[in-house]
Structures are given as C-alpha cells and as structure tokens.
Chains A and B, each alone.
Chain A
C-alpha cells in the first residue's frame, strides 16, 4: 500500500493514529509530519514516540523535539537521553542544547548526577545556555567528574553564569588535566577583574597547550590593566602564531607603549594575519616610535595589511 503524502499537517487525530501504526516507518513519518506543524500541541504526541519500540522512531522523535521549546519537550528529551540506543541519546543531547526556555532546565538538573556519564554530559550540555543560577552548584560538582567529557560541559555551565562565587571553581578548572576544560575555564575568567583571576590567567600563559595560551592572551587584554604586559610580551615569542596574534591584539587594546619594538617584530612574519593585527595594535598604541616599522609595510602584498598600516599611520599622525 502506498501512502499519500500528508497534506493536512494540523490534523493531529490522524497523526496520532499513525503513531500507533504497526509499521515503524509510518510511525517515523508521523513524527516528521508532527514536527513540520511547528505547533506546540505536537509536543505531547512526539513525546509519546520517545517510548516507541523502534529505535528509529525514538531517534526521529529526539531530533524532532529539538524544533520545540519548553518543559514538556525537555522532559521527553531527558527521558530519551537515558535511552539504551546511543544514537537516540546522542540526538537527545543535541536537541537539549537547542532548548532556550530556562524553566525547561528542571529535569536536566536532576540528571547531572546520573550514573551514566553520557547522560550527565547531555544534561549539562542542555543546561549550559539556560544560564540558571541554581545550576551553579551542579556545575561546580560536575567539574570534579572523573570523565573529561562531563567536566568539559560542566565548566561551560559554570562559566556561562559569570558568577563571582564560581571563581574558585573556575580557577581550579584552569589546572584541570583536560586541555579543553582549562581552555574554557580560562575563557570564562574574562568577567572577573579579581587579582586571583588575573593570577590564574598569567599562569595559563605558560600552559603546555597552545589553545589555552591563546585564550589566556585574549582574556588578559580584557583586564583593563597594563600591569600584566610583560607576560603578554613574553607570548610574542610563542611558537604558535595563533597565540602571538592574540597577544598582539591585547597589547594594542591595553595601549602598551613599551611593547612597540616587540610588536614590530611580528611585522616581518610570513603569516599576513599576524602582520595585519600587529599593524592595528601599533595604531591603537599610536606611539611615534612605531612609524619607521609601519612605513616599511606600506607596500605589503596583502591589501588588509596595507589598510591597517595606513590606518595606523593616520592614528600616529
């Protein structure tokens, strides 16, 4: 039997009947049709499919619920997160990350201590963007989780809250064994101007992982203080140009005149992005000492570099 494409998308009664069809492919298409309605009333029916006997239908339901928001969708997705089929639980985690309503975080909070690390990871992923203050304690606790993937999501939950009381946990996260946790923790310290945070950022400039040093160089530039310029200038000798780019930008933002000669060394680099940012930084500092360095680059082969050089020369006057 060949089914006609579903035309009346709002006919929930017929779709509900199709959800009970013995053929899993028909149940799956019913879930697709329900998602296409974009009607919040469809959530209840799709949530029913989360308990379907076929993993394909459950998978489709988990994907479909990502199109909706609210507590009911989140509760069904939390159920799917605990599904024995790894495809279903992964899809549920991805869909949970799409939920935006902070009230929908309630069922996720309860799962941050679940025995299955995949469930803990998915629940924390969902909580991250909801920015619920009551998720702070769960996040801090999960930052000590033995599974690195869980800690990566936990530090995201804590970092997004930008809470002063999370500072000790974030500073501890800067020393985590997992580089991604350290990178996120360092990035999250941008909100704090405390001496402890700056100290942790300075320590991060000597991290073994270049992505951590890169974010440390960037965040130090947001600290409204040139007192840590020496550490930033030290990063201009980093073997990774990505780190040097951020250090150059931060030194420019902080207007560190003492760094002009060190920044100028980056104007000879083969990576044109580095030359471009170095020229911009020299323009921000606007120190006449940079003039001879910039004049050498007015005919740089990269038009973006030439543009920044001209702007910088204009800033110095």
Chain B
C-alpha cells in the first residue's frame, strides 16, 4: 500500500508571491517543451500540472521575476 496517494512535491516550484501570471505573463508555460506547466484558474499563478520534467531549465532561466525554481534531483546534478 502506498504511503501517499498524491505527490507532495514536484520538480518545478513557483513562488506565488513573485509570479505575475495573473497579470498576463505566460513565459514559463510557453517555453516548457513538455507543456507541463499551466496557469491556475483559481490563483492565476503558474504551477506544474504534470510531473514530467526534463530539467531543461528555460522556465527558471526565462522567468522575468525569478519566481520559478527547478529542483534537480541529486543524481542528475
């Protein structure tokens, strides 16, 4: 039996205090080659909808407000 039925963390974390997706920004969503980021209908902020990351980093590098952090697994660093 799994200890948790839903993932408790995802590789791409968005600091909602810094994210300006609610102002119309879609940079991270646009640059993601796997199309796994979305803008939340509830908060208007970006979030990782599907946990399928290549750790390619443009979402973090291109975010105009440095709101995105990609947590690269230790063994991939």
Residues of A within 8 A of B (CB): 2-6, 18, 23, 25-26, 28-30, 32-33, 56, 60
Contacts and interface: CB of A to CB of B under 8 A. Distances in A.
Nearest to B45: A2
Interface string B6-28: 00000000000000101111110
Q: Is the interface of B mostly helix, strand, loop or mixed?
A: loop
B24 A3 contact: yes
A127 B59 CA distance: 32
Given A2-B44, A5-B39, A26 B24 contact: yes
A49 to B, nearest CB: 13
B33 interface: no
Contact of A25 (B23, B26, B27, B39): B23
B64 A33 contact: no
Contact of B20 (A4, A6, A25, A33): A25
Contact of B26 (A5, A30, A56, A60): A5
A29 B44 contact: no
A15 B76 CA distance: 41
A28 B66 CA distance: 13
Given A2-B44, A5-B39, A32 B64 contact: yes
Nearest to B40: A2
Residue in A3, A4, A18, A23 whose Cβ sees the most chain B Cβ within 10 Å = A3
B22 A32 contact: no
A3 B64 contact: no
A3 to B, nearest CB: 4
B32 to A, nearest CB: 14
Given A5-B39, A25-B20, A60-B64, A32 B25 contact: yes
B39 A29 contact: no
A58 to B, nearest CB: 12
Nearest to A27: B23
A56 B64 CA distance: 9
Residue in B25, B27, B44 whose Cβ sees the most chain A Cβ within 10 Å = B25
Contacts of A3: 22-24, 44
Nearest to A1: B22
Given A6-B26, A28-B64, 6 more contacts: A4-B24, A18-B24, A25-B25, A28-B65, A33-B24, A56-B64
